[in-house]
Amino acid sequence: MNIAILGAGNRGANVYGNILSRLADVKISAVCDVDAKKTDDAEARFGTDKKFCFYDENAFFDAGVLADGLVVASMDRDHYRQVMRAIDAGYKKILLEKPVSDSHSEVAKIAEYAKEKGVDILVAHVLRYTAFYKTIKDILRSGVLGRVAVINHQENVAYWHFAHSFTRGNWRDKNTSAPILLAKTCHDFDLLYWFAESKCIGVESFGELTHFRSENAPAGCAKRCMDGCKYMDECPFSVKNLYLVKKPPFGWGNLHVFGKNNPTAEEKTAALKNPENPYGRCVYFCDNNVEDHLSVAMKFQNGATATLTLTAFSKDCYRKIHIMGTKGELFGNDYDKFVTVNVFGQKKPRKIRIKNPVGGHLGGDNGICDTFYKLIKGEKIDGDYLTTIDVTAESHNIIFEAEKKRKAFER
């Protein structure tokens, strides 16, 4: 089985490429990225033939269909153009990184065109493919909680993740990438739509950027951390504490921050001192405009209601959920990997420990790659668990409405 990758960054090459290339009979047959370093890195890693390594999407599509399946993991604003071209080129199985697009009309057009041309597009809402969230769905399907009435859901982004991705990083400007409700929380809207099992008919939304602003900078701090900032040691957002410590809280930032996956200490320091490197900036002096906290309320056609809260202000990156049904309630926290079920009238709650996952996103990265593999091979898959483009269009619609409502309250 041949797989082509369009967008060979962290998600495209480091995640989907690495996982898919380890599956039986899979070969990464073509790679394309506008960043030559990423294309060359992927070529060396996967052993892709040089003649099928591209630095320009026009050359990639002009070469025709190069694989049985295509991974599109480019920047958000490129998705619509590239997916439509991929369908025209003749690709029939596509794994599309979320979000689909920041345009309501573009999402609808992709869904309609894929249906017209008989193309299967699997959107990378990877949380559906985890044991944790599948367990919750199975509990709801069993009927033990009765009819779902209320869902309270919280996404804790983590201070370090927010500083890296949404203050300094590629998703810091919602005008050039996508609003954070799409760029990050679309996973959560997908889950809520999946759990509610009903069309959303009403939305209210509030949120602001309150902390990562110049007026909140400590007195006398430098605009770039490596320019002798006196707060380097104590500031939790400093490049020292996020990128230079012996055991940083994450490793997936290396390629973005340093331009390579395994930089030396000297290369890290040099990269962060480079005045052109956006990751070396103080978090209070970036060109960011992304809200650091939001709350969204939803009403579904079947009478269920849901609230979703996103916050940058948490130590760890995790989600917690409380689902209240007419016969019982469920609590879940994907950080400690426990789901607790209270059935009304029963004295003891049932506590379910989810087996430790393998891979990123609680094992969802592996899960969606396995599913994409089966989809290409034509194997049977439970359709209720699939994040197809038509299903994703529905959850994306909630986000578009939420963003519209949030803007109405902007100061």
- The residues with which 388 forms a beta bridge, in sequence order, are 122
Please give the biggest Cα pair distance in the chain.
67
| 193 and 311 inside one domain | yes
Q: Are residues 199 and 220 in the same domain?
A: no
What number of CA atoms fall less than 13 Å from residue 46's CA on the CB side?
Answer: 35
**What percent of the chain shows pLDDT beyond 90?**
84
Listing DSSP states for 304-324 in one string gives: -EEEEEEES--SS-EEEEEEE
CATH number for the domain including 303? 3.30.360.10
The per-residue pLDDT for range 327-380, each reduced to its tens digit, is 999 999 998 888 999 999 998 999 999 886 667 888 899 999 999 999 999 998
Local structure of 382: helix, strand or coil: coil
Instruction: Check whether residue 57 and residue 190 sit in a common domain.
Output: no
Where is the domain boundary, 280, 307, 332? 280
Which two tokens mark 241? Answer: 């504490």
Q: Are strands 69-72 and 93-96 parallel, antiparallel or unpaired?
A: parallel
CATH number at residue 85: 3.40.50.720
How many structural domains compose the chain? 3
Using alpha carbons, select from 80, 82, 85 the residue that is nearest to residue 106. 80
Same domain, 314 and 268: no
Are both 403 and 318 inside the same structural domain?
Answer: yes
Tell me, what's the pLDDT at 178? 85
DSSP 8-state class, residue 394: H
User: Of 232, 256, 280, at which residue does a domain stop?
Assistant: 280
The pLDDT of 380-386, averaged and rounded, is: 85
What pLDDT does 356 receive?
A: 66
Structure confidence at residue 156 as a pLDDT band (50, 70, 90):
very high
Query: Of residues 262 and 105, which shows the higher confidence score?
Result: 105
Domain boundary among 253, 280, 307: 280
Q: Average pLDDT of 175-200? A: 94
Answer yes or no: is pLDDT of 404 > 70: yes
199 and 159 inside one domain? yes
Reported as a single tens digit per residue, the pLDDT across 105-125 is: 999 999 999 999 999 999 999
Whether the CB-CB separation of 120 and 92 falls below 8 Å is answered with yes
Q: Domain span at residue 42?
A: 2-123
Q: What single-letter amino acid sits at 199?
A: K
Same domain, yes or no, for 104 and 155?
A: no
Residues 118 and 139 reside in one and the same domain: no
**pTM here?**
0.91
Task: Quote the tokens at residue 186.
Answer: 């679309």
Same domain, 112 and 169: no
pLDDT at site 249 = 60
Do 39 and 110 reside in the same domain of the chain?
yes
Q: Do 29 and 17 share a structural domain? A: yes
For residue 275, pLDDT beyond 90: yes
Looking at the structure, tell me whether residues 196 and 85 fall in a common domain. no
